[in-house]
């Protein structure tokens, strides 16, 4: 019995990590079905770097990857390179880094929670809740830079707290923060604010140990700056600004701010003041990230973010969230935990709230950490306060709730998710391209690109030779890689030509194959232009994802 109690914490930690591994690795690469264009872009560019040292546009080791002129952060792409070298280019190999870092984040959170609170129970509960978090699982199963950025953010924080007693860990902390800074755009705001808080909180401690801390701190600052300087230098370029300016609610754009009143009459100049309305919209978006309705009921309304019927947390965790908020605010001897949690809690929603997307779990992923910590702290305090009343009953109820929610999450992820969301994950390209060897090899194939950048799906699933692709396609001069946002919408990939589809020219005059979705070419047009349906790839929900058609030009 004594041995059991001694090893119970390790057992619970291993169990938490085991559950985390299961939900992140089970059917990895197969679910969600399809590979979204951003995932394919990261994967193919990593493959291109592996084969040629250049991205798909021919740029040597880019600081940021151009990728449809949206300029993705580079860290995930470079981390994926060795995985592709080992396993080949596939949906599994590109999602594997995310799953691995997702599991490691669970361990990191355990160590960080233990450091901040000196409570084993609290740390174990936090690890378990993160391993079961639908929010974190979602981004650990797919190719999103934010998950990797979160890992390095936590690593940087953990190393900082340990560096207060072992100064040389400042270097690892600095490197981690720097990588997090360039790994995802939200961290460009979060990392400096977190560092500011840590400096403010521990400034006196560091100053009182100047002799032992000075050199490591100076070295860490220098190394950190070396890493972030290339990114900082391209911050003002049109390339970096492109995505921010189209998404930022404070930038005048074609989209009206929320709340415009159409019939404001003579008072329009004040009632429809753009700046006031933008501030109001920002505040509404900001508070939504802290609202129980989104956390425990609605979740993310975006097409690829939520698992069906799941919020970002489970409903039964709501009382613990409130308790955690209350107790952490009132607790006097948990200063480190309080500073860390409330800094992340209040700062993490800001980058997300600056964009128009309502409650974006992608852009606010760092928020999962303080909210998991709050829920865990609330539960820990309630367990402590009610000790030893009804212990067996309490743990039994909690276990039943956890098992019930976990099973529901399993059903949502592995039975429902693909049915309801395959349409948003560009499903169908792998199946369509598997049909290509059965087609007449002498005929060209035209691919419609009116609904997204389908060329990247072809490159990805064919594992098309990057050197050949770079040779056959031109986008912009490499000297204008970060400044010229022009896009060449026609792509040449062997016998494939990806372009804007033209009725008559592409359907009636040339014998060729056409690949398009149901919106680009419907059954009426197929009949009108005498096209032959070679194959149809259907979504799991039954609608047509893609069609392979053959033209029958009149001779």
Partner 1 sequence: MKKLLFWVSAILIFIFWPVSFFLANNNAWSQIFVGTQTIFTPDPLAIDIQSTKISLIPNRNLARIYENKTTIPLDKFKSNVFVSLDLNNYFFSLHPQEIIGGLNLTKYPYLAIIPFLVGLYFFSENKLRKWILCTFIVAVLSLAFINRQDKFDILLYFPVSAICLHGLRKIYTSSVIFYFFSSVFIPISTIEFLRIIFAK
**Closer residue to partner 1, CB minimum distance, 284 or 430:** 284
Pairing of strands 513-516, 445-448: parallel
**Closer residue to partner 1, CB minimum distance, 247 or 411:** 411
Residue from 258, 339, 342, 501 touching partner 1 (CB under 8 A): that is 258
- As a whole number of angstroms, the distance between CA 423 and CA 157 comes to 38
**Closer residue to partner 1, CB minimum distance, 76 or 289:** 289
**Closer residue to partner 1, CB minimum distance, 221 or 402:** 402
Does position 296 interact with partner 1 (CB under 8 A)? The reply is yes
Does position 302 interact with partner 1 (CB under 8 A)? The reply is no
For the segment 413-452, give every residue that binds partner 1 (CB under 8 A). Answer: 415-416, 419
Does position 259 interact with partner 1 (CB under 8 A)? The reply is yes
Which has the closest alpha carbon to 447: 532, 537, 553, 546? 546
Does position 276 interact with partner 1 (CB under 8 A)? The reply is yes
Which has the closest alpha carbon to 152: 167, 174, 130, 133? 174
For the segment 351-390, give every residue that binds partner 1 (CB under 8 A). Answer: 358-359
Q: What is the 3-state secondary structure (H, E, C) of 246-313?
A: HHECCCCCCCCCCCCCCCCHHHHHHHCCHHHHHHHHHHHHHHHCCCHHHHHHHCCCCCCCCCCCCCCC
Looking at the DSSP assignment, which residues form a beta bridge with residue 532? 550
Stretch that binds partner 1, among 26-34, 292-300, 423-431, 442-450 (CB under 8 A): 292-300
Residue from 291, 406, 497, 525 touching partner 1 (CB under 8 A): that is 291
Stretch that binds partner 1, among 39-47, 64-72, 79-87, 285-293 (CB under 8 A): 285-293
CB burial of residue 61 (10 Å; 0-12, 13-18, 19+): exposed
**Closer residue to partner 1, CB minimum distance, 541 or 552:** 541
- Helix extents (H) in 63-184: 75-87, 91-117, 120-131, 134-140, 145-163, 169-183
Closest CB 532 distance from partner 1, rounded Å: 33
Does position 298 interact with partner 1 (CB under 8 A)? The reply is yes
Does position 280 interact with partner 1 (CB under 8 A)? The reply is yes
**Closer residue to partner 1, CB minimum distance, 268 or 530:** 268
Residue from 207, 270, 389, 524 touching partner 1 (CB under 8 A): that is 270
Residues 6+ apart with CB under 8 A from 361: 135, 138, 139, 299, 300, 302, 305, 306, 312
Closest CB 529 distance from partner 1, rounded Å: 35
Cα-Cα-Cα-Cα dihedral sign, residues 25, 28, 31, 36: positive
Stretch that binds partner 1, among 44-52, 165-173, 375-383, 411-419 (CB under 8 A): 411-419
Total binding residues for partner 1 by CB under 8 A? 40
Closest CB 339 distance from partner 1, rounded Å: 18
Residue from 207, 267, 389, 524 touching partner 1 (CB under 8 A): that is 267
- As a whole number of angstroms, the distance between CA 514 and CA 538 comes to 17
Residue from 241, 243, 281, 402 touching partner 1 (CB under 8 A): that is 281
Upstream peptide bond of 32 is cis (omega within 30 degrees of 0): yes
Pairing of strands 445-448, 496-499: parallel
Closest CB 327 distance from partner 1, rounded Å: 13
- As a whole number of angstroms, the distance between CA 245 and CA 430 comes to 34
Q: Which residue has the tokens 């560096």?
A: 163
Structure-token pair, residue 182: 């360039």
Does position 315 interact with partner 1 (CB under 8 A)? The reply is yes
Does position 346 interact with partner 1 (CB under 8 A)? The reply is no
For partner 1, the binding residues (CB under 8 A) are 258-259, 261-265, 267, 270-271, 273, 276, 280-281, 283-285, 287-288, 290-294, 296-298, 301, 308-309, 315, 329, 358-359, 407-408, 411, 415-416, 419
């Amino acid at each position: 019995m004594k041995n059991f109690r001694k090893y119970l914490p390790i057992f619970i930690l291993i169990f938490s990590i085991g559950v985390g591994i299961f939900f992140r690795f089970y059917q990895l690469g197969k679910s969600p079905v399809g590979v979204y264009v951003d995932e394919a872009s990261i994967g193919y560019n990593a493959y291109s770097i592996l084969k040629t040292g250049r991205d798909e546009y021919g740029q040597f080791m880019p600081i940021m990857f151009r990728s449809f002129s949206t300029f993705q952060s580079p860290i995930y792409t470079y981390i994926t390179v060795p995985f592709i070298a080992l396993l080949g280019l596939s949906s599994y190999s590109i999602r594997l880094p995310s799953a691995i870092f997702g599991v490691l984040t669970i361990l990191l959170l355990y160590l960080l929670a233990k450091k901040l609170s000196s409570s084993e129970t609290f740390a174990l509960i936090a690890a378990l809740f993160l391993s079961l978090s639908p929010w974190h699982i979602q981004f650990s199963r797919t190719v999103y830079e934010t998950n990797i950025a979160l890992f390095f953010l936590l690593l940087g924080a953990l190393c900082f707290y340990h560096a207060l007693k072992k100064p040389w860990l400042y270097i690892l902390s600095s490197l981690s923060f720097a990588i997090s800074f360039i790994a995802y755009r939200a961290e460009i705001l979060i990392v400096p604010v977190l560092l500011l808080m840590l400096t403010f909180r521990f400034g006196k401690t560091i100053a009182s140990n100047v002799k032992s801390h000075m050199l490591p701190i100076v070295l860490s600052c220098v190394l950190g700056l070396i890493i972030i300087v290339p990114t900082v230098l391209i911050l003002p370029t049109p390339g970096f600004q492109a995505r921010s300016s189209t998404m930022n609610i404070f930038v005048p754009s074609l989209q009206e701010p929320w709340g415009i009143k159409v019939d404001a009459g003579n008072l329009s100049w004040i009632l429809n003041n753009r700046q006031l309305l933008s501030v109001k919209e920002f505040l509404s978006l900001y508070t939504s990230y802290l609202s129980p309705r989104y956390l425990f009921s609605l979740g993310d309304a975006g097409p690829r973010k939520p698992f069906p019927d799941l919020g970002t947390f489970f409903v039964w965790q709501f009382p613990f969230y409130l308790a955690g908020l209350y107790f952490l605010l009132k607790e006097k001897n948990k200063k480190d935990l309080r500073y860390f949690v409330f800094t992340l809690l209040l700062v993490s929603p800001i980058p997300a709230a600056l964009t128009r997307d309502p409650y974006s779990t992608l852009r606010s992923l760092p928020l999962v950490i303080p909210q998991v910590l709050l829920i865990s702290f609330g539960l820990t305090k309630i367990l402590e306060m009610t000790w030893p009343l009804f212990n067996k009953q309490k743990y039994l109820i909690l276990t039943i709730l956890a098992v019930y929610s976990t099973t529901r999450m399993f059903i949502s992820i592995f039975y429902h998710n693909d049915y309801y969301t395959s349409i948003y994950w560009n499903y169908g390209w792998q199946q369509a391209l598997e049909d290509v060897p059965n087609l007449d090899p002498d005929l060209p194939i035209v691919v419609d690109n009116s609904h997204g950048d389908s060329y990247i799906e072809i490159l990805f699933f064919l594992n098309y030779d990057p050197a050949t692709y770079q040779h056959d396609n031109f986008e912009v001069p490499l000297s204008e890689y970060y400044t010229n946002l022009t896009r060449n919408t026609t792509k040449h990939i062997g016998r494939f030509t990806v372009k804007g589809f033209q009725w008559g020219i592409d359907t009636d005059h040339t014998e060729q194959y056409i690949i398009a979705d149901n919106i680009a070419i419907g059954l009426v047009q197929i009949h009108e232009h005498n096209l032959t349906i070679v194959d149809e790839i259907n979504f799991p929900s039954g609608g047509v994802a893609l069609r392979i058609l053959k033209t029958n030009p009149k001779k």
